[in-house]
Structure 1
């Protein structure tokens, strides 16, 4: 990749990330790094935006991402992911299990899903084990592949200080995103 190509990529490529999108960041993303930024969302919640490069064309990434039952392969904590209704806006049910020290937390969520063909998937909580939950996957052509940006805003229904939620998101999301890339890029 040439320096002139890299310098033409703007901050707008990383929608929602308030970090400079300089040449070092671009090279690290192309080299496999997952960029992560966490922020407070509510007194008990967190917001995280992660960005990674996939060496796949956007249409191939899209087809795999909208196969929602397959999300159990992308995120190890998700134990069930199923489409419960189709239509202009899909409805999705997901269940997850997370171990914290000596506790095991089980959550479930019903999501309204809006797909902007080949570009974006928006998730909004209808009901579930959170006070609030929204997420968005954004896909853009990038070099010879795809730049995937994933933003999640959530507040659990149990009072955990936001700093702990943000730290957990900052540690776990990069590993989950790397797992997602591994599954998406696996030769089938």
Structure 2
């Protein structure tokens, strides 16, 4: 993945099914690039949508990404991911640790998880060490594989300027999603 290919995705505010991809973007996705769109979100937070292609059928991707304890394998900063209640609306506890220039931030979050089977997972913060946190993960068939879009907007409750949050999202989310793809594809 090269920074030159971290291009803006077309209107990331649209649902994944409504995004129109040009041929260059489709080619980049199939070649393994992660396409990003960053938006501003509060003075201390960040928002980003990242899209990637996974060369697996959607049902196989769905089965793995909804195995939430495995998220520690996809995102190296997540130290714990535990389902604390099941049902139509799941509850999830996650903790993470992130090193910055002069300190290490430890965060934890309790999330409400709503699944639209095979298509979408919505994560909403109930409580935690964030001022706000929302994330959506969407899946769509693309060729012989699956297009995954992950949108996250978050404001930590530690005073880090949004430029640093957005920079971390721009650099780390693509790397984390590539790691997720690698783990998913090696688990066939």
TM-score by length of 1: 0.89
Relative to structure 1, is the Cα distance of residues 101 and 16 closer, same or farther in structure 2, using a 3 angstrom cutoff?
farther
Taking the aligned partners of 2:78 and 2:69, their CA distance within structure 1 comes to 10
- The residue that corresponds to 1:23 in the other structure is 23
Deviation, structure 1 residue 15? 3.8
SS in 1 for 2:160: coil
Deviation, structure 1 residue 21? 2.8
What are structure 2's unaligned runs of at least 5 residues?
1-9
SS in 2 for 1:118: coil
- The residue that corresponds to 1:66 in the other structure is 66
What is the number of residues matched between the two proteins?
177
- The residue that corresponds to 1:94 in the other structure is 94
What are structure 1's unaligned runs of at least 5 residues?
1-10
Deviation, structure 1 residue 20? 7.1
RMSD: 1.8
Taking the aligned partners of 2:176 and 2:51, their CA distance within structure 1 comes to 12
Deviation, structure 1 residue 52? 0.2
- The residue that corresponds to 1:174 in the other structure is 174
- The residue that corresponds to 1:39 in the other structure is 39
Q: Does 1:186 align with 2:183?
A: no
Taking the aligned partners of 2:101 and 2:55, their CA distance within structure 1 comes to 36
Aligned residues of 1:14 and 1:149 also touching (Cα < 8 A): no
Aligned residues of 1:15 and 1:149 also touching (Cα < 8 A): no
Aligned residues of 1:72 and 1:80 also touching (Cα < 8 A): yes
Relative to structure 1, is the Cα distance of residues 68 and 51 closer, same or farther in structure 2, using a 3 angstrom cutoff?
same
Larger radius of gyration: 1
TM-score by length of 2: 0.89
Relative to structure 1, is the Cα distance of residues 141 and 35 closer, same or farther in structure 2, using a 3 angstrom cutoff?
same
User: 1:131-161, CA deviations, whole angstroms, 9 ceiling, x for partnerless residues?
Assistant: 0000000000000000000000001102222
- The residue that corresponds to 1:115 in the other structure is 115
Taking the aligned partners of 2:187 and 2:124, their CA distance within structure 1 comes to 32
Deviation, structure 1 residue 12? 8.0
